[in-house]
Structure 1
Amino acid sequence: MDAFMDKLANKMLPFAQKLSENRYLGAIRDAFVTIMPIIIGCSLFTLLNCVFLGKGHYFDQWFGQPFNGVVEMGSAISSAGMSVMALLIVFLVAKNLAERYKMDGSMAATSAVVDFLIVTKFLSTAKLGEFIQTYYLGAAGLFTAFICAIATVEIIRKLMNVKALVIKMPDSVPSGIARSFNSMIPVILTMLIFGIIRLITNAIGMPLNDIIFKGLQQPLSAIVTSPVGLIVIYIFYMLLWGFGIHSAYIIGTPILEPIYLANLTANAALISKGAAATNILTKPFTDGTMFMGGAGNMLALVIAIFIVSKRSDYRDIAKLGFVPALFNISEPIMFGLPVVMNPILIIPMILVTLAGLLIGYISTIVGLMGYTYVLVPWTTPPVIGLFLSSGANVGAALTGVIILVVSVIIYMPFVKVMDKALEAEATNEE
């Protein structure tokens, strides 16, 4: 088994390392980390409106009109973040990527926002004047935002290397003004390139946002959220964890989260309008079904150790890791037990992940668990996270309990095997 693990590690680790070092994925990951507090805040106001304050809900039934203004305020706060998510992302991705190249991050970021808007569809009416639908600035525009941000930085970087295009200012000119003039021609040329792209897409009769959404974002989302795609992704995800690599930073945040956040935003928009949500896979769904106590449902492993393990060292580590696991921090158990490079525990870690996904999926389809539409902090304790993210749905909390129990049952025989294996090693040494 050890030889097999070594072979698998030798094949997977180079690929994982390339992903972790990819500057584009890193820029996207850091951008989402930056806006996470904003998205969580917007989600909490959506939760308040849709569960407590909105028309027909608890506070409205009890007190009526006095809360109408609060509802409007909550809607404004939610829309202010969720409806312009792509605009925030295009700025941050460009800034992060430019800074990795040691470029002027502010210049690149503001240019990227302008370039993104250049290819975005504008509407005009006599009454309202010129405007942009927030549809294109929200979750549906995320992949367009990635592409525009990366393309803007790369084009400006290449043009800045052409000395004839860089305006040199005397040393007496303040550095901020000099930097602005240095990049002037590359920035203008980049805007021209995006303008030409707009001309081409106008001739086609479909804005770039729609082309990318229908040609890239939707198909990729369909692949990632398909049954086969999910199984492959999360087996790989947990194997990386099994080799000691933090999968969230390589696969989760830069690749999966944009899709899951887009699904969450779509659900929140539908729920806010009084319609039914349609997307099962969202970030709080995966957090609540597959990451109870952290990756691999580590809280279940801690409980399994308390129930069946007779080894005092395991129980001591489980005691140390119990409180962190309650807040979805898995590292004390992952590296302290360890689970990392432990073939006996890597197997159930994969099994509980897939079992949690399956139970949560089925529970949502049959109507026991409500759809998730609120992004709660990832440190929210298991079961409570599912309860809140689904709009205080009791069935979601029950689903979380079922997943936790099933996960404990899956871990228990493997913990026993590990106990016996170590006992056998101790006997052989004697």
Structure 2
Amino acid sequence: MIGKLEKFLLPLANKLSMNRYLSAIRDGFIAIMPLMIVGSFFILINNVFIGENGLTAKLFNLPLLELTELGNAIVPATMSVMSVLLTFTTAKALCETYKEDTTITPIIAVVTLFILMPISTNADLGIEIINTQYTGAAAIFMAFISAICTVEIIRKLSTFDKIIIKMPDSVPPSIARSFNKLIPVMLTIIIFGIVRYFTDLAGSPLNDLIFKFIQTPFTNIVSSPVGLVIIYILYMLLWGLGIHSAFIFGPILEPIYLATLTANSAALQSGAQMTGIITKPFVDSVAFMGGAGNMFALLIAILLVSKRSDYKTIAKLGFAPAIFNISEPLMFGLPVVMNPILIIPMILSTLSGLLIGTISTVLGFMGYTYVLVPWVTPPVVNSFLSSGGSIGAAITVVIIFVVSVLIYIPFVKIADKQIQNEQ
């Protein structure tokens, strides 16, 4: 069985992991992640601790509204410019895969993003206005399109010697590079300007078209029950084959999850009802306790029932890393990799965690997640913080953990019997 899966999945996984566009998107996200975490924590502080309905108001009747001004300045500066930042970092990462100069093209990618944005003018105030809908999480797909297309168009145009302005050797290299790219850059900007012209004729900004025909349907597929089951079965199967699934699925899933998380944050700040269940901190909380497949539950199951000295030794060694959701000591030490006895409960634990977490959220017991916390945040603490201090979220994760331990126990006993039979 494992051999057949390996023959089918490994070539596909290798192609996806080596895809330069997915790699660029992944690296682009990694570059802005610290800013997203900072912005999320200030949302948490403003809404849970010091805001009008925060803990200081409820416990001491003392809302510290003046202090929320700090968060009100920081949150838009981090969360509302997400697509602008991603355009730059993704274009830069893609240029690096081509070993191209990264000083010019990423900047042009940001310019092309703004070309595609609708800009309204307030004649009374004498200002131009860009809706943050087109600079934040709702425009993530447009950011990727702008970044990738800009890099590819400039690269292609730069291969035509007749449009390259060549400078004398005496000119400093930085200035020479700027002039070399001048005509390709100008033509690229014109191309995006033409695209903007036709979308204006169509009566809808390009981002709205992308959101309607690409981003929303893709989000619905990824967040649907069937979509989640398929994705996370494949996710865990690849881990079972020794492939770090996050490198393959991360660039595909994280834009969707981040957009949902940001929509929840915006709903909270505006006083509306949050509706997005599947976010990255949600998945981390219910399916990645101790690492992919709730490895911490496997560790506890081993310490509770296993009679194998090698399993117990590895479980003890992997205890500290697992607290911070680092699963490699268990994945490769037991190993779980290429071990069908442990791959099966890893899949079952993941799916049961997603199911219980979703039901708990729908019932209103587990709070919606709207804070992006670091993935190394320990289990239970992760769910508590990412849901804005929801006790129900923490209790739900504890229940999922217990269920996961119970799922792993029979398979750990089977592994014990297997080694006894071999001896």
Post-superposition Cα deviations, 1:163-207, rounded to whole Å, max 9, x if no partner, equal 011100000000000000000000000000000000000000000
Does residue 287 in structure 1 map to residue 294 in structure 2? no
Q: What secondary structure, in the 3-state scheme, does the structure 1 residue paired with 2:128 have?
A: strand
**Match for 1:83 among 80, 84, 109?**
80
**Match for 2:28 among 26, 31, 46?**
31
Residue in structure 2 matched with residue 161 of structure 1 by the alignment: 159
Count of residues in Structure 1 that have an aligned counterpart in Structure 2: 421
Taking the TM superposition and a 5 Å limit, the aligned residue runs for 1:343-422 are 343-422=340-419
Residue in structure 2 matched with residue 56 of structure 1 by the alignment: 53
Q: What secondary structure, in the 3-state scheme, does the structure 1 residue paired with 2:385 have?
A: helix
Q: CA deviation at 1:60?
A: 3.5
Post-superposition Cα deviations, 1:59-98, rounded to whole Å, max 9, x if no partner, equal 2453646x32320110221111110100000001111101
Taking the TM superposition and a 5 Å limit, the aligned residue runs for 1:93-112 are 93-112=90-109
Residue in structure 2 matched with residue 309 of structure 1 by the alignment: 306
The RMSD of aligned alpha carbons is: 0.9
Residue in structure 1 matched with residue 133 of structure 2 by the alignment: 135
Q: CA deviation at 1:124?
A: 1.1
Post-superposition Cα deviations, 1:247-296, rounded to whole Å, max 9, x if no partner, equal 001112x1100100000000011111222211000010000000000001
Distance 2:9 2:38 in 1: 37
Does residue 327 in structure 1 map to residue 324 in structure 2? yes
Q: What secondary structure, in the 3-state scheme, does the structure 2 residue paired with 1:377 have?
A: coil
Does residue 74 in structure 1 map to residue 71 in structure 2? yes
**Letter paired with 1:293:** G
Distance 1:10 1:18 in 2: 13
Q: What secondary structure, in the 3-state scheme, does the structure 1 residue paired with 2:268 have?
A: helix
Q: What secondary structure, in the 3-state scheme, does the structure 2 residue paired with 1:124 have?
A: strand
Does residue 342 in structure 1 map to residue 339 in structure 2? yes
Distance 2:103 2:248 in 1: 26
**Match for 2:252 among 248, 255, 263?**
255
Is 2:119–2:129's contact at 8 Å kept on the other side of the alignment?
A: yes
Is 2:261–2:369's contact at 8 Å kept on the other side of the alignment?
A: yes
Distance 2:62 2:130 in 1: 35
Residue in structure 1 matched with residue 182 of structure 2 by the alignment: 184
Q: CA deviation at 1:57?
A: 2.0
- Percent pairwise identity: 61
TM-score by length of 2: 0.98
Does residue 46 in structure 1 map to residue 43 in structure 2? yes
Q: What secondary structure, in the 3-state scheme, does the structure 1 residue paired with 2:90 have?
A: helix
**Letter paired with 2:228:** L
Where do 5+ consecutive residues of structure 1 fail to align?
none
Where do 5+ consecutive residues of structure 2 fail to align?
none
TM-score by length of 1: 0.97
**Letter paired with 1:111:** I
Q: CA deviation at 1:56?
A: 2.8
Residue in structure 2 matched with residue 170 of structure 1 by the alignment: 168
* Bigger Cα displacement from structure 2, 269-278 vs 112-121: 269-278
Residue in structure 2 matched with residue 144 of structure 1 by the alignment: 142
Distance 1:56 1:160 in 2: 56
Does residue 269 in structure 1 map to residue 266 in structure 2? yes
Q: What secondary structure, in the 3-state scheme, does the structure 1 residue paired with 2:264 have?
A: helix
**Letter paired with 2:146:** C
**Match for 1:124 among 92, 96, 121?**
121
Is 2:47–2:53's contact at 8 Å kept on the other side of the alignment?
A: no
**Letter paired with 2:317:** L
